[in-house]
Amino acid sequence: MAEGHGGMRRPNNPAPVSGPGRLSRRTDGQGARYMAGGEYGEGQEMMDLQTSAPMSKTEAPAARPRASRGQAAAAEIARPTPLFAPTERPDEPITAGAPFGPGPGPDMLPSSGTATSPAVMKYLPYLEQATQWPDTPDVFKAFVRYLQGVR
């Protein structure tokens, strides 16, 4: 035994759970160990023997608890609309929001107001100070000049 690390190691309580398929790992605390020394190829052969044994079958997990309405709605929002899916707004022209064509123009789009938001302006003095550092990128300096013009 090397420093008391030989033999079976008791898993943490609760025992770790093995992943499915190719992600499966032993959960009994014993991992595959490379055997150094010996003839050429014996170490790899021993490693192959240790890792080739099939994992024991695990019981199927209990039925998953149902998601709440909020979680289900969030899952629906996170799912992107397929490219060739039918339109969700059949009465809206495709040029809605554009400065040309039928439908409302860009003024119908929500403005984020990020450039003039109080939170950005609150930090403007610090951003201005950062433009004086020698390694500040030119694009950052241009952004701060833009914010200074918006004030």
For 128-148, what is each residue's pLDDT tens digit? 999 999 999 999 999 888 888
Nearest to 25 by CA among 66, 64, 68, 56: 56
Provide the residue ranges of all domains of the chain, joining segments of one domain with +.
21-52, 118-150
Q: How confident is the model at residue 99, as a pLDDT?
A: 87
| Residues near 39 by beta carbon (within 8 Å), at least 6 away in sequence | none
Mean pLDDT, rounded, of the chain: 74
Q: How confident is the model at residue 119, as a pLDDT?
A: 74
Residue scoring higher pLDDT (73 or 91): 91
- Note the maximum CA span of the chain: 81
Most confident of 69-73, 79-83, 100-104, 115-119: 100-104
CA distance 97 to 94: 9
Whether the Cβ atoms of residue 131 and residue 142 lie closer than 8 Å to each other: no
Nearest to 109 by CA among 92, 126, 125, 131: 92
Nearest to 94 by CA among 106, 83, 84, 102: 102
pLDDT by residue (tens digit) across 113-130? 555 677 778 888 999 999
Q: Give the mean model confidence (pLDDT) for residues 69-90.
A: 72
Q: Is the pLDDT of residue 112 over 80?
A: no
Name the band, by pLDDT with cuts 50, 70 and 90, for residue 13.
low
Q: Give the mean model confidence (pLDDT) for residues 58-78.
A: 55
Nearest to 127 by CA among 150, 97, 95, 96: 150
CA distance 74 to 41: 53
Least confident span in 11-15, 41-45, 96-100, 125-129: 11-15
- The answer, as to whether pTM is greater than 0.85, is no
Residues in the chain: 151
HSE (side-chain half, CA atoms, 13 Å) at 143:
13
